[in-house]
A = this chain, B = another copy of it.
Amino acid sequence: MVIEEKLIKRFHKWRCPLASGIRGPDGGGAKLIDVARLANCSPATASRVLNGNPRVGQDERERVMRAAAELGYVPNGSARALRSTRSRLVGAIIPTLDHAIYATMVDGLQAKLAEKGVSVIISTSHYDLDLELEQTRLLVERGAESIVLVGSTHSAQTMSLLDQKQVDYVFTYTSSVAEAGAAIGFDNEKAGAAAARFLLDLGHKRLGMIAGITTNNDRAKGRLDGFLSELAARGLDPAAVPVVEGAYKVESGRQAMRSLMDVPQPPTAVFCGSDILATGAIKYCHEQGIAVPGEVSVVGFDNLEIAELTSPELTTLEVPAREMGNLAADYILAPAAQKRYLRQTELPIRIIVRDSTGAAPSQAH
Protein backbone atom coordinates (compact mmCIF):
# COMPACT_ATOMS: atom_id res chain seq x y z
CA MET A 1 0.00 0.00 0.00
CA VAL A 2 2.57 2.50 1.09
CA ILE A 3 4.80 1.62 -1.81
CA GLU A 4 1.96 2.00 -4.24
CA GLU A 5 1.25 5.50 -3.06
CA LYS A 6 4.82 6.56 -3.48
CA LEU A 7 4.86 5.25 -6.98
CA ILE A 8 1.85 7.30 -7.82
CA LYS A 9 3.48 10.45 -6.54
CA ARG A 10 6.57 9.77 -8.58
CA PHE A 11 4.47 9.23 -11.60
CA HIS A 12 2.90 12.64 -11.18
CA LYS A 13 6.30 14.16 -10.88
CA TRP A 14 7.49 12.60 -14.09
CA ARG A 15 4.56 13.71 -16.06
CA CYS A 16 4.70 17.40 -15.40
CA PRO A 17 8.14 18.75 -14.54
CA LEU A 18 6.83 22.20 -15.40
CA ALA A 19 8.72 22.53 -18.66
CA SER A 20 8.09 20.33 -21.63
CA GLY A 21 11.33 18.34 -21.58
CA ILE A 22 10.60 14.74 -20.66
CA ARG A 23 13.54 14.29 -18.42
CA GLY A 24 14.37 11.02 -16.75
CA PRO A 25 14.98 11.07 -13.02
CA ASP A 26 18.74 11.14 -13.65
CA GLY A 27 18.83 13.99 -16.13
CA GLY A 28 18.53 17.28 -14.32
CA GLY A 29 17.42 16.52 -10.82
CA ALA A 30 20.27 14.91 -8.94
CA LYS A 31 19.60 15.47 -5.26
CA LEU A 32 21.70 15.07 -2.22
CA ILE A 33 20.33 11.61 -1.66
CA ASP A 34 21.39 10.57 -5.14
CA VAL A 35 24.90 11.75 -4.42
CA ALA A 36 24.85 9.86 -1.14
CA ARG A 37 23.68 6.67 -2.79
CA LEU A 38 26.35 6.85 -5.47
CA ALA A 39 28.96 7.52 -2.80
CA ASN A 40 27.67 4.75 -0.56
CA CYS A 41 27.02 6.92 2.42
CA SER A 42 24.19 8.66 4.22
CA PRO A 43 22.83 11.98 3.05
CA ALA A 44 24.11 13.52 6.25
CA THR A 45 27.67 12.65 5.40
CA ALA A 46 27.26 13.91 1.87
CA SER A 47 25.88 17.14 3.26
CA ARG A 48 28.83 17.48 5.60
CA VAL A 49 31.31 17.01 2.81
CA LEU A 50 29.63 19.52 0.55
CA ASN A 51 29.52 22.05 3.35
CA GLY A 52 33.18 21.67 4.23
CA ASN A 53 32.53 20.12 7.60
CA PRO A 54 35.98 18.78 8.61
CA ARG A 55 34.74 15.83 10.63
CA VAL A 56 34.61 13.46 7.70
CA GLY A 57 37.08 10.79 6.66
CA GLN A 58 39.30 11.31 3.68
CA ASP A 59 37.94 8.45 1.57
CA GLU A 60 34.31 9.32 2.25
CA ARG A 61 35.04 12.88 1.31
CA GLU A 62 36.57 11.94 -1.99
CA ARG A 63 33.82 9.51 -2.90
CA VAL A 64 31.22 12.17 -2.26
CA MET A 65 33.05 14.80 -4.24
CA ARG A 66 33.41 12.45 -7.16
CA ALA A 67 29.78 11.43 -7.02
CA ALA A 68 28.63 15.05 -6.89
CA ALA A 69 30.77 15.95 -9.87
CA GLU A 70 29.64 12.94 -11.84
CA LEU A 71 25.97 13.72 -11.29
CA GLY A 72 26.43 17.41 -11.88
CA TYR A 73 24.86 17.95 -8.51
CA VAL A 74 23.65 21.46 -7.75
CA PRO A 75 22.28 21.97 -4.26
CA ASN A 76 18.81 23.36 -3.80
CA GLY A 77 19.25 26.76 -2.22
CA SER A 78 15.65 27.01 -1.07
CA ALA A 79 15.80 23.77 0.84
CA ARG A 80 19.12 24.72 2.29
CA ALA A 81 17.87 28.14 3.35
CA LEU A 82 14.70 26.71 4.80
CA ARG A 83 16.53 24.20 6.89
CA SER A 84 19.47 26.26 7.99
CA THR A 85 17.84 29.69 8.15
CA ARG A 86 20.79 31.06 6.22
CA SER A 87 19.95 32.23 2.75
CA ARG A 88 23.31 33.72 1.75
CA LEU A 89 21.29 36.46 0.12
CA VAL A 90 21.71 40.18 0.58
CA GLY A 91 19.35 42.85 -0.66
CA ALA A 92 20.23 46.28 -1.97
CA ILE A 93 17.69 49.02 -2.46
CA ILE A 94 18.98 52.04 -4.32
CA PRO A 95 17.22 54.97 -5.96
CA THR A 96 18.22 53.95 -9.48
CA LEU A 97 20.89 52.06 -11.36
CA ASP A 98 20.89 54.80 -13.96
CA HIS A 99 23.19 56.94 -11.86
CA ALA A 100 26.81 55.78 -11.89
CA ILE A 101 27.23 56.67 -8.27
CA TYR A 102 24.83 53.95 -7.20
CA ALA A 103 25.68 51.43 -9.89
CA THR A 104 29.31 51.59 -8.87
CA MET A 105 28.49 51.09 -5.22
CA VAL A 106 26.47 48.01 -6.05
CA ASP A 107 29.29 46.77 -8.26
CA GLY A 108 31.67 47.03 -5.31
CA LEU A 109 29.18 45.40 -2.98
CA GLN A 110 28.44 42.53 -5.31
CA ALA A 111 32.09 41.86 -6.12
CA LYS A 112 33.07 41.44 -2.48
CA LEU A 113 30.04 39.39 -1.54
CA ALA A 114 30.37 37.10 -4.53
CA GLU A 115 33.83 36.11 -3.32
CA LYS A 116 32.13 34.53 -0.32
CA GLY A 117 29.29 33.00 -2.29
CA VAL A 118 26.73 35.56 -1.21
CA SER A 119 24.34 36.83 -3.86
CA VAL A 120 22.84 40.29 -4.20
CA ILE A 121 19.22 40.99 -4.99
CA ILE A 122 18.83 44.45 -6.34
CA SER A 123 15.85 46.72 -6.42
CA THR A 124 15.24 50.36 -7.14
CA SER A 125 13.03 52.76 -5.25
CA HIS A 126 13.20 55.88 -7.41
CA TYR A 127 13.50 58.01 -4.29
CA ASP A 128 10.05 56.84 -3.19
CA LEU A 129 9.85 55.74 0.43
CA ASP A 130 6.66 53.76 -0.03
CA LEU A 131 8.12 51.83 -2.89
CA GLU A 132 11.15 51.27 -0.74
CA LEU A 133 8.93 49.73 1.90
CA GLU A 134 7.45 47.33 -0.61
CA GLN A 135 10.87 46.36 -1.89
CA THR A 136 11.99 45.81 1.66
CA ARG A 137 9.08 43.52 2.30
CA LEU A 138 9.90 41.53 -0.80
CA LEU A 139 13.53 41.22 0.19
CA VAL A 140 12.63 40.07 3.67
CA GLU A 141 10.31 37.55 2.11
CA ARG A 142 13.15 36.29 -0.05
CA GLY A 143 15.16 35.74 3.08
CA ALA A 144 17.73 38.50 2.67
CA GLU A 145 20.02 38.37 5.69
CA SER A 146 21.06 41.98 5.33
CA ILE A 147 19.75 44.89 3.37
CA VAL A 148 21.78 47.78 2.03
CA LEU A 149 19.95 51.08 1.91
CA VAL A 150 20.91 54.51 0.65
CA GLY A 151 20.81 57.39 3.10
CA SER A 152 19.31 57.44 6.55
CA THR A 153 15.80 58.64 5.77
CA HIS A 154 13.36 55.77 5.53
CA SER A 155 9.74 55.18 6.36
CA ALA A 156 9.00 54.19 9.93
CA GLN A 157 7.33 51.05 8.66
CA THR A 158 10.44 50.05 6.76
CA MET A 159 12.55 50.41 9.84
CA SER A 160 10.16 48.56 12.10
CA LEU A 161 9.81 45.74 9.60
CA LEU A 162 13.58 45.34 9.52
CA ASP A 163 13.66 45.52 13.26
CA GLN A 164 10.87 43.04 13.79
CA LYS A 165 12.19 40.48 11.36
CA GLN A 166 15.66 40.90 12.77
CA VAL A 167 17.14 41.75 9.40
CA ASP A 168 20.48 43.49 9.59
CA TYR A 169 20.80 46.65 7.52
CA VAL A 170 23.38 49.18 6.49
CA PHE A 171 22.92 52.76 5.41
CA THR A 172 25.27 54.12 2.77
CA TYR A 173 26.16 57.60 1.52
CA THR A 174 25.59 58.86 5.02
CA SER A 175 27.36 58.72 8.34
CA SER A 176 24.35 58.80 10.61
CA VAL A 177 23.37 55.48 12.04
CA ALA A 178 19.99 54.44 13.39
CA GLU A 179 19.54 52.57 16.67
CA ALA A 180 20.53 49.32 15.05
CA GLY A 181 22.31 48.55 11.81
CA ALA A 182 25.31 50.30 10.38
CA ALA A 183 26.21 53.38 8.38
CA ILE A 184 29.03 53.24 5.88
CA GLY A 185 29.52 56.58 4.23
CA PHE A 186 30.42 60.16 4.69
CA ASP A 187 29.04 63.31 6.22
CA ASN A 188 27.16 65.24 3.58
CA GLU A 189 27.05 68.39 5.70
CA LYS A 190 30.78 68.37 6.16
CA ALA A 191 31.15 67.90 2.44
CA GLY A 192 28.89 70.84 1.68
CA ALA A 193 30.79 72.93 4.20
CA ALA A 194 34.09 71.95 2.60
CA ALA A 195 32.86 73.15 -0.77
CA ALA A 196 31.81 76.46 0.77
CA ARG A 197 35.15 76.86 2.48
CA PHE A 198 37.02 76.15 -0.70
CA LEU A 199 35.12 78.79 -2.63
CA LEU A 200 35.27 81.37 0.15
CA ASP A 201 39.01 80.91 0.38
CA LEU A 202 39.21 81.75 -3.30
CA GLY A 203 37.68 85.10 -2.41
CA HIS A 204 34.16 84.54 -3.65
CA LYS A 205 31.44 86.61 -1.98
CA ARG A 206 28.41 85.91 -4.14
CA LEU A 207 27.73 82.20 -4.06
CA GLY A 208 24.89 80.07 -5.38
CA MET A 209 23.94 76.45 -5.32
CA ILE A 210 22.29 73.97 -7.61
CA ALA A 211 21.11 71.22 -5.32
CA GLY A 212 19.59 67.85 -6.03
CA ILE A 213 15.92 67.45 -5.13
CA THR A 214 15.99 67.54 -1.34
CA THR A 215 12.58 65.95 -0.78
CA ASN A 216 13.11 62.58 0.89
CA ASN A 217 16.80 62.91 0.17
CA ASP A 218 18.88 63.49 3.24
CA ARG A 219 22.11 63.46 1.21
CA ALA A 220 21.05 66.32 -1.05
CA LYS A 221 19.63 68.15 1.94
CA GLY A 222 22.79 67.62 3.97
CA ARG A 223 25.01 69.07 1.27
CA LEU A 224 22.80 72.09 1.00
CA ASP A 225 22.60 72.63 4.75
CA GLY A 226 26.32 72.22 5.21
CA PHE A 227 27.02 74.65 2.41
CA LEU A 228 24.71 77.33 3.79
CA SER A 229 25.85 76.84 7.38
CA GLU A 230 29.43 77.39 6.46
CA LEU A 231 28.55 80.55 4.59
CA ALA A 232 26.67 81.77 7.62
CA ALA A 233 29.61 80.93 9.85
CA ARG A 234 31.76 83.11 7.61
CA GLY A 235 29.44 86.05 7.91
CA LEU A 236 27.32 85.71 4.77
CA ASP A 237 23.55 85.77 4.86
CA PRO A 238 22.29 82.31 3.83
CA ALA A 239 18.92 83.77 2.92
CA ALA A 240 20.62 85.85 0.25
CA VAL A 241 22.18 82.79 -1.38
CA PRO A 242 20.24 81.70 -4.45
CA VAL A 243 19.48 77.96 -4.44
CA VAL A 244 17.82 76.00 -7.21
CA GLU A 245 16.91 72.34 -6.98
CA GLY A 246 16.98 70.02 -9.94
CA ALA A 247 16.76 66.33 -10.78
CA TYR A 248 20.07 64.65 -11.54
CA LYS A 249 19.96 65.36 -15.25
CA VAL A 250 22.25 67.44 -17.42
CA GLU A 251 19.31 69.42 -18.69
CA SER A 252 18.19 70.28 -15.16
CA GLY A 253 21.63 71.64 -14.43
CA ARG A 254 21.53 73.73 -17.55
CA GLN A 255 18.19 75.29 -16.70
CA ALA A 256 19.10 75.78 -13.08
CA MET A 257 22.23 77.62 -14.11
CA ARG A 258 20.21 79.90 -16.34
CA SER A 259 17.91 80.91 -13.53
CA LEU A 260 20.95 81.52 -11.34
CA MET A 261 22.91 83.57 -13.89
CA ASP A 262 20.20 85.43 -15.69
CA VAL A 263 19.94 88.15 -13.05
CA PRO A 264 21.56 91.54 -12.52
CA GLN A 265 24.17 90.40 -10.01
CA PRO A 266 24.85 86.73 -10.71
CA PRO A 267 26.98 84.63 -8.38
CA THR A 268 30.69 84.27 -9.06
CA ALA A 269 30.73 80.72 -7.80
CA VAL A 270 28.19 77.90 -7.92
CA PHE A 271 28.27 74.66 -5.98
CA CYS A 272 26.40 71.78 -7.60
CA GLY A 273 25.09 68.77 -5.70
CA SER A 274 26.20 66.46 -8.47
CA ASP A 275 28.62 66.37 -11.38
CA ILE A 276 25.68 65.80 -13.66
CA LEU A 277 24.19 69.11 -12.61
CA ALA A 278 27.57 70.81 -12.81
CA THR A 279 28.02 69.54 -16.32
CA GLY A 280 24.72 71.05 -17.34
CA ALA A 281 25.73 74.30 -15.66
CA ILE A 282 28.96 74.47 -17.63
CA LYS A 283 27.10 73.64 -20.79
CA TYR A 284 24.85 76.65 -20.22
CA CYS A 285 27.87 78.86 -19.69
CA HIS A 286 29.33 77.70 -22.98
CA GLU A 287 26.15 78.52 -24.79
CA GLN A 288 26.02 81.98 -23.26
CA GLY A 289 29.68 82.72 -23.61
CA ILE A 290 30.12 82.96 -19.88
CA ALA A 291 33.74 82.21 -18.97
CA VAL A 292 34.41 79.36 -16.55
CA PRO A 293 36.12 79.97 -14.23
CA GLY A 294 36.76 83.56 -15.40
CA GLU A 295 33.30 84.84 -14.63
CA VAL A 296 31.93 82.01 -12.59
CA SER A 297 33.53 79.08 -10.78
CA VAL A 298 31.73 75.75 -10.72
CA VAL A 299 32.17 72.93 -8.22
CA GLY A 300 30.60 69.52 -8.71
CA PHE A 301 30.04 66.50 -6.52
CA ASP A 302 30.76 62.77 -7.07
CA ASN A 303 33.88 62.84 -9.23
CA LEU A 304 32.31 60.85 -12.01
CA GLU A 305 34.27 60.03 -15.11
CA ILE A 306 32.56 62.93 -16.87
CA ALA A 307 34.25 65.39 -14.54
CA GLU A 308 37.35 65.03 -16.69
CA LEU A 309 35.46 65.44 -19.93
CA THR A 310 34.12 68.92 -19.55
CA SER A 311 36.20 71.85 -20.57
CA PRO A 312 37.38 73.18 -18.31
CA GLU A 313 37.69 69.97 -16.34
CA LEU A 314 35.55 69.98 -13.26
CA THR A 315 36.60 70.68 -9.70
CA THR A 316 34.56 68.31 -7.60
CA LEU A 317 34.23 66.37 -4.37
CA GLU A 318 35.03 62.72 -4.59
CA VAL A 319 32.42 60.25 -3.40
CA PRO A 320 33.92 56.85 -2.59
CA ALA A 321 31.11 54.86 -4.16
CA ARG A 322 32.95 51.62 -4.81
CA GLU A 323 34.63 51.75 -1.43
CA MET A 324 31.29 52.14 0.31
CA GLY A 325 30.07 49.04 -1.49
CA ASN A 326 33.17 47.14 -0.49
CA LEU A 327 32.96 48.22 3.12
CA ALA A 328 29.26 47.48 3.32
CA ALA A 329 30.12 43.97 2.16
CA ASP A 330 32.86 43.72 4.79
CA TYR A 331 30.43 44.76 7.46
CA ILE A 332 27.84 42.26 6.31
CA LEU A 333 30.35 39.44 6.21
CA ALA A 334 31.95 40.32 9.51
CA PRO A 335 31.34 38.08 12.52
CA ALA A 336 28.85 39.53 14.97
CA ALA A 337 31.57 40.33 17.46
CA GLN A 338 33.28 42.69 15.03
CA LYS A 339 30.18 44.40 13.74
CA ARG A 340 30.12 46.73 16.70
CA TYR A 341 33.33 48.29 15.56
CA LEU A 342 32.49 48.55 11.91
CA ARG A 343 28.99 49.84 12.21
CA GLN A 344 29.83 53.49 12.00
CA THR A 345 32.38 54.08 9.32
CA GLU A 346 32.86 57.63 8.16
CA LEU A 347 34.92 58.01 5.04
CA PRO A 348 36.78 61.23 4.27
CA ILE A 349 35.71 63.36 1.35
CA ARG A 350 38.48 64.74 -0.82
CA ILE A 351 38.13 67.77 -2.99
CA ILE A 352 39.57 67.25 -6.46
CA VAL A 353 40.74 70.58 -7.74
CA ARG A 354 40.68 70.90 -11.51
CA ASP A 355 40.12 73.86 -13.78
CA SER A 356 36.52 74.94 -13.31
CA THR A 357 37.33 77.02 -10.25
CA GLY A 358 39.46 80.12 -9.78
CA ALA A 359 39.81 83.29 -7.77
CA ALA A 360 36.84 85.58 -7.59
CA PRO A 361 36.82 88.25 -10.31
CA SER A 362 38.77 91.24 -8.92
CA GLN A 363 35.88 93.67 -9.05
CA ALA A 364 32.41 92.37 -9.18
CA HIS A 365 31.24 95.30 -11.28
Interface assignment of A270: CB less than 8 Å from any CB of chain B:
no
Interface assignment of A97: CB less than 8 Å from any CB of chain B:
yes
Interface residues on chain A, number (Cβ under 8 Å): 63
> In the complex, are the beta carbons of B140 and A18 less than 8 A apart?
no
Taken residue by residue from 288 to 318, chain A's Cβ proximity to chain B (1 for < 8 Å, 0 otherwise) reads as 0000000000000000011011110000000
Q: What are 14 A-B contacts with C-beta separation under 8 Å?
A: A17-B166, A23-B166, A72-B164, A76-B82, A78-B82, A89-B142, A97-B103, A100-B100, A110-B124, A111-B124, A114-B135, A119-B142, A279-B309, A306-B309
Within 8 A of B (CB), among A108-155: 110-111, 114, 117, 119-124, 135, 137-143
> In the complex, are the beta carbons of A142 and B309 less than 8 A apart?
no
Q: Out of B117, B142, B161, B283, which one reaches A77, CB within 8 Å?
A: B142
> In the complex, are the beta carbons of A122 and B110 less than 8 A apart?
yes
Taken residue by residue from 64 to 95, chain A's Cβ proximity to chain B (1 for < 8 Å, 0 otherwise) reads as 00000000101111110110010101000000
Given A143-B77, A309-B310, residue A72 in contact with residue B161 (CB < 8 A) = yes
- In the bound complex, CA of A164 to CA of B30 (Å): 10
Interface hub of A17, A81, A137, A286 (most chain B Cβ within 10 A): A81
Q: State the Cβ distance, A245 to closest chain B Cβ, in Å.
A: 20
CB-CB nearest in chain B for A168:
B19
Interface assignment of A49: CB less than 8 Å from any CB of chain B:
no
Interface assignment of A346: CB less than 8 Å from any CB of chain B:
no
> In the complex, are the beta carbons of B119 and A18 less than 8 A apart?
no
Interface assignment of A54: CB less than 8 Å from any CB of chain B:
no
- In the bound complex, CA of A79 to CA of B110 (Å): 25
> In the complex, are the beta carbons of B122 and A106 less than 8 A apart?
yes
**A305 proximity list for chain B (CB < 8 A):** 250, 276, 306
> In the complex, are the beta carbons of B309 and A21 less than 8 A apart?
no
**A161 proximity list for chain B (CB < 8 A):** 72, 74
Q: Out of B82, B141, B168, which one reaches A74, CB within 8 Å?
A: B141
> In the complex, are the beta carbons of B120 and A75 less than 8 A apart?
no
> In the complex, are the beta carbons of B122 and A120 less than 8 A apart?
yes
- In the bound complex, CA of A75 to CA of B142 (Å): 9
> In the complex, are the beta carbons of B143 and A123 less than 8 A apart?
no
- In the bound complex, CA of A28 to CA of B87 (Å): 17
Interface hub of A77, A78, A165 (most chain B Cβ within 10 A): A78
Q: State the Cβ distance, A287 to closest chain B Cβ, in Å.
A: 11
Interface assignment of A98: CB less than 8 Å from any CB of chain B:
yes
**A310 proximity list for chain B (CB < 8 A):** 309
> In the complex, are the beta carbons of B74 and A140 less than 8 A apart?
yes
Interface hub of A135, A142, A308 (most chain B Cβ within 10 A): A142
The 7 closest A-B pairs by CB, nearest first: A97-B107, A103-B103, A78-B81, A78-B82, A97-B103, A78-B78, A77-B142
Taken residue by residue from 204 to 215, chain A's Cβ proximity to chain B (1 for < 8 Å, 0 otherwise) reads as 000000000000
